[in-house]
Amino acid sequence: MSSQATRTVRIGSSNGLHARPAKLFAQAAKESGAAVTVAKGSGAAVNAASILSVISLGAEHGDYVTLTAEGDNAEHVLDALTELLTTDHDA
């Protein structure tokens, strides 16, 4: 049975969701096996497994993004991705 989960999180990296954090995030989303999207504010959701799409959001430190995951392990996927987004990878 497939499930869907949604979570809104605050960007923790002091330089926002730029190259390194975006790469870590996109890689984790891709490896999760779930269909994951991410949206900033009321903007359109993009494929979280695509580093270019993630960077194109222009998410800065303190911005809120909404993650949606679909799959058997949707909640676990969001737990891991939330951890990545709330951590300051620039520290």
Active site residues: 18
DSSP-derived 3-state class of residue 21? helix
Distance between CA atoms of 63 and 61, rounded to whole angstroms?
6
Q: At what angle do helices 19-31 and 74-86 cross, to 10 degrees?
A: 170
